[in-house]
Amino acid sequence: MEHKLPELPYSKDALAPHLSAETLEFHHGKHHATYVANLNKLIPGTPFADLPIEEIVKKAPAGPIFNNAAQVYNHTFYFLRLSPKGGGAPAGKLGAAIQKEFGSFEEFQKKFTETAMNTFGSGWAWLVRDKDGRLHLRSTSNAGCPLTAGETPILTCDVWEHAYYIDYRNARAKYLEAFWKIVDWKKAAENF
Ligand code: MN
């Protein structure tokens, strides 16, 4: 089964000034695309050849197949939860659950931002749901993905430098400020 680079549901310049067209051209058009191409080269003739991406991430041992599959999954998850009409706070059940778990949306936002800022080196910050429906913040290194811990991702922020270096250089905090303005909470709530 050939994996495909998902098309973005917005134009490359639609997230500016928060994320520039150049960032999306590199991040989606080159980094994400390369993980897809690598995965397609690695899996033929292996037990992972015909599995959907989530299953490869859950089942592959540490190594190149896991790294590329998880990076495909993580990037698709990230890009599809951004929107030029994003920002604000979630409504409905997800909004209520965030309030219950973190005290307030602002407190959640602060803690998620801390999780992203404290992720050392390359990695991802996540809001996840556990099997009992409770929300947690997670930080994963490199290609790490909460699916391997049996948790369901709700929202993620890519904190690899390639996600922000073109627009914000080394200023991860500025990228985080911009991230909150383009989070698509409607889409994020679909997994809750
Ligand atoms: Mn990335």
Average pLDDT over the chain reads: 98
**Tally of domains in the chain:** 2
5 within a domain of the structure (yes/no): no
Its domain, for residue 149, covers 92-191
CA of 190 to the centre of ligand 1 (A): 22
Q: What angle do CA 78, 80, 85 make, to 5 degrees?
A: 110
The answer to whether 10 touches 83, Cβ cutoff 8 Å, is yes
CATH code of the domain covering residue 55: 1.10.287.990
Q: What would the two tokens of residue 184 be?
A: 């698509």
Q: Where is the domain boundary, 55, 79, 103?
A: 79
> In angstroms, what is the C-alpha Rg of the chain?
16
- Give pLDDT, residue 1: 87
Q: How many A from CA of 110 to the centre of ligand 1?
A: 22
In Å, how far from its chain's centre is CA 3? 18
Q: Is the pLDDT at 161 greater than 90, yes or no? A: yes
Torsion angles phi and psi, residue 62, rounded to 5: -55, 135
| 31 located within any domain | yes
Q: pLDDT band at residue 90, thresholds of 50, 70 and 90?
A: very high
User: Do 96 and 178 share a domain, yes or no?
Assistant: yes
Q: How far is the CA of 157 from the centre of ligand 1 (A)?
A: 9
Over residues 128-153, mean pLDDT: 97
89 Cα to the center of ligand 1, angstroms: 24
The reply to whether 86 falls in a domain is no
Task: Tell me, in angstroms, the distance from the centre of ligand 1 to residue 175's CA.
Answer: 13
Indicate the helix (H) or strand (E) that contains 137: strand 135-141
The total of other beta-carbon atoms located within 10 Å of residue 97's CB is 19
CA–centroid distance, 162 to ligand 1, in Å, is 6
122 and 187: one domain?
Answer: yes
